[in-house]
Chains A and B, each alone.
Chain A
Amino acid sequence: MYAALVLCMCISCKSTSLAVYFCEQIEHTLSPQGILGNCSKMADEVEQQTTTNTVEEPLDLIRLSLDERIYVKMRNDRELRGRLNAYDQHLNMILGDVEETVTTVEIDEETYEEIYKSTKRNIPMLFVRGDGVVLVAPPLRVG
């Protein structure tokens, strides 16, 4: 039987309290649900380990790309290529050494042909808000 001394904070009122929890195994995770319930209940369930390196969901694929160069497609015909330094579940990201490409279509009044133009710029370090992100992928290999 192991005892864990835990400092808890209520998310809404920010009050803190110290609590002692007893667990059967030393590697138990104290999930928020577990804290509210009785910790001895967790001893009966099979708990996930705190660290898992298996790829289970799409966000795990992004985790594999940390510190790698990635390609990000965004809304409004924008694309980014940069080194992924951080991300979260909203797909907010911090990219380093980024190149942004903005693509516009101009329509010639006389010939009515579509002219595609793209504008690029470089930014050393960029925070990208997740609600503009459409696609995340490894950089596209040309040729």
Chain B
Amino acid sequence: MCISVLQLFYSFFKSLVGKDVVVELKNDLSICGTLHSVDQYLNIKLTDISVTDPEKYPHMLSVKNCFIRGSVVRYVQLPADEVDTQLLQDAARKEALQQKQ
């Protein structure tokens, strides 16, 4: 038996480090990049970024890496084949039960 701090999504994002993702922010800006790191607040660091939606919003031509505060994220688009849905569902069930106690 072990105690685990409830951090399903933190662990999930850690497993995606190195993969390409698209982060959509609450201000409608979409940033495509490689996931470099994540923390417990789901703050995200991306490297080699580019703005996905054509000319929609700031052109960050000179920006290569960025740090995104977790609270401004609306969505993160993930590669479907990198995600083990069965594992996620089992982990979510366990996390929900731990949260109740």
A pairs with B: yes
Residues in A lying within 8 Å of B, measured CB to CB: 4, 6-9, 11, 29-32, 35, 48, 50-52, 56-57, 59-60, 62-63, 66-67, 83, 85-89, 92, 94, 96, 123-129, 131-132
In the bound assembly, the distance between CA atoms of A86 and B78 in angstroms comes to 14
Known A11-B5, A35-B3; judge A89-B99 contact (CB<8 A): yes
- Let me know if B26 and A132 touch, CB within 8 A: yes
Residues on the B chain within 8 Å of A56, using CB? 100
23 pairs from A and B in contact (CB 8 Å cutoff): A6-B1, A11-B5, A31-B101, A48-B101, A52-B97, A52-B100, A63-B93, A66-B93, A83-B85, A85-B88, A86-B12, A86-B89, A86-B92, A87-B96, A88-B95, A94-B78, A124-B79, A124-B80, A125-B80, A125-B83, A127-B9, A128-B74, A129-B42
In the bound assembly, the distance between CA atoms of A123 and B52 in angstroms comes to 14
- Let me know if B97 and A88 touch, CB within 8 A: no
Interface size class of B (residues with CB under 8 A): 20 to 34
Known A51-B97, A125-B83; judge A7-B74 contact (CB<8 A): no
- Let me know if B75 and A59 touch, CB within 8 A: no
Task: Given contacts A67-B85, A96-B80, A132-B26, list 6 more A-B pairs with CB under 8 A.
Answer: A51-B97, A59-B99, A60-B96, A86-B12, A88-B6, A127-B76
Closest to A67 in B: B89
Per-residue contact bits, chain B 63-101, to A (CB 8 Å; 1 contact, 0 not): 000000011011111111001010011011101110111
Residues on the A chain within 8 Å of B97, using CB? 50-52
- Let me know if B99 and A129 touch, CB within 8 A: no
In the bound assembly, the distance between CA atoms of A115 and B3 in angstroms comes to 54
Residues on the B chain within 8 Å of A60, using CB? 96, 100
Closest to A63 in B: B96
- Let me know if A8 and B3 touch, CB within 8 A: yes
- Let me know if B89 and A129 touch, CB within 8 A: no
B29 contacts the other chain (Cβ, under 8 Å)? Answer: no
B8 contacts the other chain (Cβ, under 8 Å)? Answer: yes
B2 contacts the other chain (Cβ, under 8 Å)? Answer: yes
In the bound assembly, the distance between CA atoms of A6 and B12 in angstroms comes to 25
Closest to A97 in B: B80
